[in-house]
Structure 1
Amino acid sequence: MNKRIERCTLSAMMALGSMAIAGVLSTAQAALPPVKHQGSVQYVSGGIGIDESEAMKAAAKDYPLALTFAAQRDGTADYVASVAVTILDAQGKEVLKATSEGPYMLVKLPAGSYKISATFEGKTQERAITVQGTGTARAVFEWK
């Protein structure tokens, strides 16, 4: 009889744990901004507010490229939005031209070499980056 109670208790605990995990995952997914497409490139940008910011950070592992945007203001770095982003492939072909809706932009790109231009308040910065077949390449743009 005790073994039956133990099994029931264990089953109930496992069910509650599964529901808790599902709740956390659905909350993170709900906070993620909508995914957008430009040609064959899929991307998401945002990160304004703690929920959306945490969701973007958690989703970065699923994207080959993660961009972060910040600007120095009064001696501290603040995250910024409305950054014009252009990504060119190794042949100079434009693969993405978009405006960030927050301080983070996640982009699904095939493995290869890319040139990223980011413009904020009329000032442009460029980065050359290589996206590998696995993992996430990261680039931070900070304006002073």
Structure 2
Amino acid sequence: MVPIGYVGAALAVIFAIVAAVAIVRGSGGLAGGAVGLWIVGALMSFAASFAREWTPLIVACAALTAMLIVGSVVRAIVNAAGVERADRAVEELPKAVPASKTPVTATSKTPVAATSKVALTKTGPATATIAVVR
């Protein structure tokens, strides 16, 4: 059981590093997936505790704690520096114009009212029929 624990601890450390990199990049989905896989590695490292060997579990937990702290600190530094990724360029949205100020463009000489009425008729104790009348 001890070799399984050491392999699990090694996997947990790798996934903790991936989680830290994902946090720095601002990728929440990747960070969540890496932490989810870290749980699998931590459970594998717990197998060594049956032989009273707690080192793999301690290493796995310490790795995640350290990497989450390091990833968060580096992310805060990156945000404070104003450095953004090139693929996350924010496009400027068009400015909102009130309906009263929008230009009117008519394609025909007579305005067409696009209205429809909905009639709800009860056909039974728990059913209803919706009819659209134009």
Where on the TM-score scale, by shorter chain, does this alignment land: which range? under 0.3
Structure with more of its chain in helix, by fraction? 2
**TM-score, normalisation: structure 2:** 0.23
Greater CA radius of gyration, 1 or 2? 2
More strand by share: 1
TM-score by length of 1: 0.21
